[in-house]
Structure 1
């Protein structure tokens, strides 16, 4: 279940990964209490330059440790093969017989890693075929949440997991995880999204809670002489007007989420004394839609932003747009793809309170990007696969991480200014999708650019103390697992109609009624039940 994070910004999937978790009383096999999650044991072998904290601020590294720490002494496997179903948003890499990186990975793992690498666009079809064939690989990066809900062949997610997937609780619960020290190094918050049927049914790919932000081109804003930190919505609107002109637009997308934060709205749900209220049900959300629509009509938003797969990052890097909403993980990508030269500079814009008077709270993100399940196997085989996954989770700063992420020095990357810079061979060969099987804890690191790394760290340090977590994170709703695509389409289509001027804001009340009757109210009920039992 690799989730396109851009969909989080528009509401089309609205945090699909929240379903990979605990349950509701409407599904009696789902329980939360009594699960002894893996004992968190931080890896002591590498120390960051800028320390994170328990609130969710990530560790930051100004350069890659030199020499890197050698974390293991032998391959985790002793021959044989391991099959895995993985997803990718990159072009599919060369096959193993034409891919020196893949061959070297197999050598270091001590096994023949047989990957089925599936582009995100083909996820639903390929996973449905996998389920229908009932011949599951050893490791499955689940495509359990598609734009249309659960894939064909999975009528009930918890039941499918219990029937086909390995319960990892005996191997990972409590101190048992210490047999796999790099898995023990994963934060507890990430494991919460792997709870099913009263047990641990997955291995998480952890991510920071910093979530999405409004990136800004500081180099371009400086040329315009505008304040990069607007103090209210009115000042933000004026900034957008000032920087927009022929061939340039302030915004890569309509800033509905950013304005929602200014207005104090929740990302998805707000807990009002045990009862949940959706962001879409607040009167203030109509204000956010109205303001965003006006920015579109005034020419502050790129006119092609409503098309599917719009190249919003390319616009931002080219300076065609000055502001873009994206996940914090895009920070190093923007620098890697920079075409503006050494003067290129970006940072994050904090949302001001709508009428001024300080900064508004941002939204915390899910602690996991996705998780991987294991097909049912005998205990010896489970331990073998966990040893392999432990190797894949070797942390930043280790020799193993450096190879896993960047490949072989001199072939797939070169070190420059304390950071690995990928060669073309590195770009094409290393994107095997293994980082979506399991990964080490995320860190802040922009290769070869310590100043940008520090800026990213300082931005996260500024927003995380007040960031608000959605009350349904790590909770399960059966209706949401089946109808999230349908519900998201109702919201997304209606928003686009209003933002593009095809319909007035006054139509929003009817949209909310449709959303509620189609399943929104049932989702609310199931999440409220889950909140009471967690």
Structure 2
């Protein structure tokens, strides 16, 4: 299960509401100083999917990549396998969203993981916000660790991979992956993101395809006799107005951009790109997006948002939600249990989620799609025997829920870092600290829905997921690469986001959005589109 902070939970519709491009870690392209923008992708055979052996889920997902649900940890985890390695050291570079964990010498959980691997896993890591610089410095230095996590935009990625890292196709394509059964259990769609110029270059840090969700303080809505699920946009607007009581320092929501993303979902457009007949359209270019922007501005004018909402941090928005100052908050779906944890001390706290509904009777809503690969781990150029050793280590780290290896990796040592409540491992305060080693950003198994002792929460999370995935559209940019996107998206996306903010707060007129989008297109948006269309046509 992904380690989360309050800072990361807001990622969802609000983060995708302005085009910044698709995931930029993978695809096809050129190396060095060549100027060809996009080439064929997907010539290589993908790994054959085979769900890893483990316990039967209580709530099996009906969708590829969906999270299975479990009510408890099995009383008898699958028997531990023999350590895949027989000594030596593995070096790795990755990132984290958490504080620094105690080092190996002071960390019995890390030591236990090394025992399971049969080798010393020596991890260097940096905060996610600083990782791009650490990655660049490491690459420039030339002394690469065995394993390197690629996270975020990387310029000239195809050429970098060819010059410094190992093509893993012969080890992982097709049935070859059966030598690594835990890796074979990762969703096929996440593997598509690792294919660059027809070759498999890394191990995906896979994520479920569900994106963000609108979380609701159901207890506060119940007090006013308000329904969690509106029937259309008109009812949604009425709900926001009814929840707002400025004299008592309460506003419906603290995130105008998050609500804008929800309105675009109501209008039936996905969060980034739309493909029709091989032609790509950014969602920001559509009439529906302009309409959603106008509606969101109208809600700002109606005063339903916290006055500091436009500039607030994610931590602040989550605190307002927990305190009841804003009964709605947009957040990443994987943060469901975190909201429950934060509300545990709040009398009467009851959490619910709001699905997108049709804007009116003529529209079909969609649910925003999550990123199916957060990052990928690549292997530096090595001889075939060493590559196989490293893949065995990555396979061990990807052991699934219900296995002894998963128990070790996530919880550590019974009696020292966790205790059992029934069959569920519960981390103690020491375990919470020791487990912060970022193993899961090097390799990890499929995420699951698991809330120890909280069957109601697990059922609610699972029910929302299945309904949301039924409303989710495919992402046409998966497996496509644009060098323009990798080099320019931060700059042109930020300019567009700033303009959107100016419109929302009333400093710029609504009709200025057309010119803002035109500027985005000229600054690189049209070239990104062309890159994607070229790569898509060659698939």
TM-score (norm 1): 0.92
Mark the runs of 5 or more structure 2 residues left unpaired by the alignment: none
1:240 and 2:240 matched:
yes
Q: How does 1:291-302 map to 2 (within 5 A)?
A: 291-302=295-306
1:355 and 2:357 matched:
no
User: Aligned residue for 1:252?
Assistant: 254
- 8 Å CA contact retained: 1:7, 1:13: no
User: Aligned residue for 1:206?
Assistant: 206
- 8 Å CA contact retained: 1:203, 1:371: yes
Q: How does 1:46-195 map to 2 (within 5 A)?
A: 46-70=55-79, 72-145=80-153, 150=154, 155-195=155-195
SS of 2:230's partner is coil
User: Aligned residue for 2:43?
Assistant: 34
Q: How does 1:271-282 map to 2 (within 5 A)?
A: 271-282=275-286
1:307 and 2:316 matched:
no
Indicate how the Cα distance of structure 1 residues 262 and 22 shifts in structure 2: closer, same or farther if over 3 A, else same.
Answer: same
Deviates most, 297-306 or 82-91: 297-306
- 8 Å CA contact retained: 2:20, 2:493: no
> Aligned pair count?
524
1:23 and 2:28 matched:
yes
- 8 Å CA contact retained: 2:25, 2:150: no
Indicate how the Cα distance of structure 1 residues 517 and 404 shifts in structure 2: closer, same or farther if over 3 A, else same.
Answer: same
SS of 1:216's partner is strand
Q: Render the CA deviation track for 1:333-376: whole Å, top value 9, x for unaligned.
A: 22233344574322321111112478612123232222111111
Deviates most, 292-301 or 184-193: 292-301
Write the distance in 2 (CA, Å) between the matches of 1:118 and 1:216.
34
Write the distance in 2 (CA, Å) between the matches of 1:28 and 1:296.
41
Q: How does 1:373-522 map to 2 (within 5 A)?
A: 373-416=378-421, 419-522=424-527
Write the distance in 1 (CA, Å) between the matches of 2:185 and 2:338.
25
Q: Render the CA deviation track for 1:158-197: whole Å, top value 9, x for unaligned.
A: 1011111111111111111111110111121111000113
Deviates most, 500-509 or 515-524: 500-509
Q: Alpha-carbon deviation of 1:306?
A: 2.7
Q: Alpha-carbon deviation of 1:253?
A: 0.9
Indicate how the Cα distance of structure 1 residues 356 and 217 shifts in structure 2: closer, same or farther if over 3 A, else same.
Answer: farther
SS of 1:321's partner is coil
SS of 2:329's partner is strand
Q: Alpha-carbon deviation of 1:99?
A: 2.2
Q: Alpha-carbon deviation of 1:10?
A: 2.8
Write the distance in 1 (CA, Å) between the matches of 2:535 and 2:8.
26
SS of 2:330's partner is strand
Write the distance in 1 (CA, Å) between the matches of 2:374 and 2:169.
21
SS of 2:401's partner is coil
Write the distance in 2 (CA, Å) between the matches of 1:475 and 1:512.
23
SS of 1:337's partner is helix
Q: Render the CA deviation track for 1:291-311: whole Å, top value 9, x for unaligned.
A: 212222333222333336341
Mark the runs of 5 or more structure 1 residues left unpaired by the alignment: none
- 8 Å CA contact retained: 2:168, 2:200: yes
Q: Alpha-carbon deviation of 1:15?
A: 6.9
Write the distance in 2 (CA, Å) between the matches of 1:286 and 1:421.
48
Write the distance in 2 (CA, Å) between the matches of 1:417 and 1:187.
31
Deviates most, 377-386 or 268-277: 268-277
Write the distance in 1 (CA, Å) between the matches of 2:350 and 2:363.
24
Write the distance in 2 (CA, Å) between the matches of 1:395 and 1:520.
40
Write the distance in 2 (CA, Å) between the matches of 1:239 and 1:54.
32
Q: Alpha-carbon deviation of 1:493?
A: 0.9
- 8 Å CA contact retained: 1:12, 1:488: no
Write the distance in 2 (CA, Å) between the matches of 1:430 and 1:218.
33
Write the distance in 1 (CA, Å) between the matches of 2:255 and 2:73.
34
Indicate how the Cα distance of structure 1 residues 52 and 211 shifts in structure 2: closer, same or farther if over 3 A, else same.
Answer: same
Deviates most, 297-306 or 516-525: 297-306
Indicate how the Cα distance of structure 1 residues 102 and 144 shifts in structure 2: closer, same or farther if over 3 A, else same.
Answer: same
State the Cα RMSD in Å: 2.4
Deviates most, 135-144 or 409-418: 409-418
Q: Alpha-carbon deviation of 1:133?
A: 0.6
Q: Alpha-carbon deviation of 1:417?
A: 6.3
Q: Alpha-carbon deviation of 1:104?
A: 2.1
Deviates most, 11-20 or 191-200: 11-20
Write the distance in 2 (CA, Å) between the matches of 1:406 and 1:377.
32
User: Aligned residue for 1:269?
Assistant: 273
